[in-house]
Amino acid sequence: MTSQTDVRQLVDFITAELPRDSWTPWPGGWPDQIEAALIDAVLSISAKYGSETNGVRGAVARYRAEVDSDRPNDLARLSNQDPEQLQTVLNDQKVSGRTKASAIVEAAKNLLAVGVKSAADLDPHNAEQKKAYTAVHGLGWVTWEYFGMLLGKPGIKADRWIVRFAGRALGRDVTATEAKALLFEAAAELEATPTELDHAIWAHERDLRVPPL
């Protein structure tokens, strides 16, 4: 259970530092495009988003061109990709000592094995699905949450930027789990979706250009 005092302090901090009219709008993710969402979620780990032609968004665009689909929504297709070939399409980035491309393919296989083929099959609250994703070395619950957000599910991606913001608001260290819970409640107080608040904070923290500890 979160402290209502902490929630109030967080809401006051957001109102002062990040007025609603300054929020960067959530770009919308990849509704009904589970392949694009999975690629984005994994590539987002310690990465820059860039434009339509570079960064994470550029990599997703290259994949869509590679499979000749502007709405890629079939994990069977993604699970059948050769990891090395996918790496040439996406990028050479690694997570926990392995290529992100190999993690993406393994995650697609694991999710397919528990019945997740298209965006309609994904349930972020399904323990079996979450376990299938987080069983992949290098992937955890934070990007699992973000995967759902990219498909239109409400969520908070409690990465280092979000955790740092919550910590500054409260004047103490907070865990990712605590930051997520507090921001869900703060979003309700602010009459915003968790995803809208998450993205506004993420963009604000990135714009500060101060590397988090």
Note the pLDDT of residue 103: 99
Note the pLDDT of residue 213: 46
Mean pLDDT of successive 10-residue segments in the chain (213 residues)? 90 97 96 98 82 81 97 99 98 96 99 99 98 98 98 96 96 97 98 98 84 50
Q: Is the dihedral of CA 100, 104, 109, 114 positive or negative?
A: positive
Note the pLDDT of residue 83: 98
Note the pLDDT of residue 47: 73
Structure-token pair, residue 80: 């059948």
Note the pLDDT of residue 208: 82
> What is the DSSP annotation of 177-209?
HHHHHHHHHHHHHTT--HHHHHHHHHHHHHHHT
Structure-token pair, residue 36: 């694009």
